[in-house]
Structure 1
Amino acid sequence: MAIYINQSTRVLVQGITGRQGSFHTVQMLGYGTNLVGGVSPGKSGQAVKGVPVYGTVFEAMEEEPAEASVLFIPAPFARDAAYEAIDAGIKILVIITENIPLHDALDIMEYARQNEVVVVGPNTFGLVSSGQCKIGIMPNRIFIPGPVGVVSRSGTLSYEIVGNLSAAGLGTSTVVGMGGDRVVGLSFIDVLKEFEKDQDTEAVVLVG
């Protein structure tokens, strides 16, 4: 078991043809994430490592319905990209983008709340359900499946903790990056409640 995402989660990449988006698409594919499509305005019909690119989230969802989307979008355009994903029916938004304008971030969180959408980030390293699905920018090699959940605002500390848990043979169930911007979607309490319901998570490491 895991929280939020698993091996069946279908994922879109918004900003897939950009430098960051294309690089981390390759890494997520290498982890085994079920990437079903990418979105890049004006680039419909292209492909990134075999992942089809669509011009809008709506177009992508018509062809390859997905539950989650990860955003590699410049900060000034992140609100519009998030709104588009929510309007198209995405239920989990992972926003890698940092320094989103404060009022834009507040708007995203309120719109997500109204539509019952989970927002991870902004300014997050993402989330991983070990051995099942990775959405974000974390290094693939440090994760092994296990009974320990991790939730943190810090990417560097999370990598250190996950690496040590793996080295000790314990491993992780799901690792959640809260995000480092002033306004983020999930609270520690939100994530802890999900871990509490997960029968395969026996312990949790919480890092500020």
Structure 2
Amino acid sequence: MSPRGRPRGFDREAALTRAMHVFWERGYEGASLAELTAAMGINSPSLYAAFGGKEALFREAVRLYGATHGAMTERAFREQHSARDAVGAMLRYNAATYADPDLPSGCMIVLSATNYTPSNEGVRDFLAALRKEDIDGLRQRLRQGVTDGELPEHADIEGMTAFYGTVLHGLSIQARDGASLEELTVVIDAAMACWDRFAQVVPVDRTSWTG
């Protein structure tokens, strides 16, 4: 017998994928239970029985996103052998996903909690932590470039991390606003043209900054 409230033949993975697309398009706050259950083909009791509630469903959907469409940065770092090629591929692979007409635009992890209520600060913090992990991964890849001799020891790694991380997140916002892949590629080309400047600059002592 099927669990109470769960329809016979319930495909959990398919339902989760459809929920991911709703959250990706609408954001956490904007995705109503009615919209989620309609997309998933289940009723509200089924959602709670299978996933534990809206926030638990969202967190699971984010993990699915991170293992699929959101895995482009990991793919770039795995496939490319030089730091420069890895960062360029990071931007290009992600931009192609952000602007894919068959998917919701932009990055789910960047855009899903730009607005939130105080009761949902946990969702905001969850996504912020994931974005921080991505930036930390970028920093580590750039530091590996120094270790491998691709970048000089005095390269401004912190500046490069902040810059290319901001470009990556900015591409997501531009895609959500309707920018095409061609338009995003212009931004990426300009960003990669800055590589040598960062590689040659002595890092700034940002610990003395105030305000």
Give the TM-score normalised by structure 1. 0.27
Give the TM-score normalised by structure 2. 0.27
Larger helix fraction of residues: 2
Choose 1 or 2 for highest CA Rg. 2
Larger strand fraction of residues: 1
